């Protein structure tokens, strides 16, 4: 792998428009460099930095996009409150020598008259697709746009949003987008809570309870090694979360690791997925079996 264009740890090149982005990438291409994209909504944390590290191993030049995508937020969701600490984000990217940051304005991504939606069927029928109507259309639309804007060799997505990862793999394959999709495991706090930009909104007492999500996933997944009655294990998981102080559980389900259909057999590769509310905040997590 060649050294980074940003070998000194100075600020990444900043692209505020698709034109800037393409100019930067065209120069890299001229130099024979391979290019990787790490799409984010900003409010960068250790989880994003892990994605950056993996990408830097795979390609010569890494670009991080920062865009809070309005199309993936439901009407009652937290679009307006979503954190946007741009300066801090850029400083973090400089500290890990990311080569460029793409930070477009919403009006540029979705100008007046924008009328295309990318919709992936099948994988979107369950879990977050069912509970957050329109969410994955918003994700699929922005990711398709980012991939076509940057035309990178590779892009990476975290396993915390495992359903999102599978949907992106599907759309890339269906639309013949020439990009390699990588994934990285979930980054966790020392108490097991999956790291997320939204964790900062948990009250101190909810933050203390929140690791129960991962602990419950782990304990029910462990039971599933010998007990194949997945539906009854799921009910036990939901009860355990409610007892731990979660006020509602959207889903707690064993699902096939590729199709996301409900898991039925012990010999199938599967994951256990959960989404639950604490203090009005929705947390998601999953574990492999």
Shortest distance, position 40 Cβ to ligand PAF, whole Å? 5
Tell me how far apart the alpha carbons of residues 171 and 118 are, in angstroms, rounded to a whole number: 9
**Which sign, positive or negative, has the C-alpha torsion 2, 173, 156, 152?**
positive
Q: Which of residues 32-61 bind ligand PAF (CB under 6 A)?
A: 39-41
- Rule CB under 6 A: say whether 216 interacts with ligand PAF: no
Nearest residue (CB) to ligand PAF, 240 versus 284: 284
Q: Which of residues 164-193 bind ligand PAF (CB under 6 A)?
A: 164
DSSP E strands, 17-60: 35-40
Shortest distance, position 12 Cβ to ligand PAF, whole Å? 17
> Catalytic annotation on 48?
yes
Shortest distance, position 223 Cβ to ligand PAF, whole Å? 30
Nearest residue (CB) to ligand PAF, 142 versus 240: 142
Tell me how far apart the alpha carbons of residues 98 and 231 are, in angstroms, rounded to a whole number: 45
Q: Between 123 and 162, how does the x/- string for binding to ligand PAF read (CB under 6 A)?
A: ----------------x--xx-----------------x-
Of the candidates 62, 69, 163, 286, which one interacts with ligand PAF according to CB under 6 A? 69
Tell me how far apart the alpha carbons of residues 196 and 74 are, in angstroms, rounded to a whole number: 18
Residue 76 burial (C-beta neighbours within 10 Å; 0-12, 13-18, 19+): exposed
Nearest residue (CB) to ligand PAF, 147 versus 217: 147
In this structure, what are the phi and psi dihedrals at residue 163, rounded to the nearest 5 degrees?
-65, -40
Shortest distance, position 270 Cβ to ligand PAF, whole Å? 22
Nearest residue (CB) to ligand PAF, 139 versus 194: 139
Nearest residue (CB) to ligand PAF, 5 versus 38: 38
Q: Which of residues 240-259 bind ligand PAF (CB under 6 A)?
A: none
Tell me how far apart the alpha carbons of residues 163 and 166 are, in angstroms, rounded to a whole number: 5
Residue 30 burial (C-beta neighbours within 10 Å; 0-12, 13-18, 19+): exposed
Nearest residue (CB) to ligand PAF, 234 versus 285: 285
Containing 192, the helix (H) or strand (E) segment is none
Shortest distance, position 165 Cβ to ligand PAF, whole Å? 9
**Residues touching ligand PAF, count (CB under 6 A):** 10
Strands 180-184 and 154-158: parallel
Of residues 14, 12, 38, 179, the one with CA closest to residue 102: 14
Considering the candidates 13, 21, 42, 48, report the single residue annotated as catalytic: 48
Measured at the alpha carbon of residue 18, what is the angle toward residues 114 and 123, in degrees to the nearest 5?
55
Would you name the residues annotated as active-site residues? 48
Interface with ligand PAF (CB under 6 A): 39-41, 69, 72, 139, 142-143, 161, 164
């Amino acid at each position: 792998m060649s050294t980074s264009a940003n070998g000194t740890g100075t600020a990444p090149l900043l692209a505020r428009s698709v034109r800037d982005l393409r100019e930067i990438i065209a120069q890299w291409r001229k130099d024979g460099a391979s290019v990787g994209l790490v799409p984010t909504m900003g409010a960068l944390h250790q989880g994003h930095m892990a994605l950056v590290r993996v990408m830097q191993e795979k390609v010569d030049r890494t670009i991080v996009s920062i865009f809070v995508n309005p199309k993936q937020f439901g009407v009652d969701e937290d679009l307006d409150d979503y954190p946007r600490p741009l300066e801090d984000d850029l400083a973090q990217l400089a500290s890990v020598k990311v080569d460029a940051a793409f930070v477009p304005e919403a009006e540029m991504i979705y100008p007046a008259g924008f009328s295309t939606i990318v919709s992936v069927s099948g994988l979107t029928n369950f879990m977050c697709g069912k509970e957050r109507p329109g969410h994955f259309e918003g994700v699929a639309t922005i990711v398709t746009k980012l991939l076509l804007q940057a035309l990178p060799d590779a892009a990476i997505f975290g396993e915390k949003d495992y359903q999102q990862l599978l949907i992106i793999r599907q759309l890339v394959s269906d639309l013949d987008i020439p990009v390699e999709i990588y994934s990285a495991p979930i980054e966790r706090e020392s108490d097991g809570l999956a790291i997320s930009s939204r964790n900062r909104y948990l009250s101190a007492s909810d933050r203390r309870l929140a690791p129960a999500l991962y602990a419950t996933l782990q304990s029910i997944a462990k039971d599933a090694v010998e007990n194949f009655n997945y539906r009854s294990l799921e009910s036990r998981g939901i009860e355990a979360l409610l007892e731990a102080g979660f006020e509602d559980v959207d889903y707690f389900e064993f699902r096939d690791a590729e199709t996301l259909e409900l898991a039925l057999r012990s010999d199938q590769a599967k994951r256990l997925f959960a989404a639950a509310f604490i203090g009005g905040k929705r947390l998601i997590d999953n574990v492999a079996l």
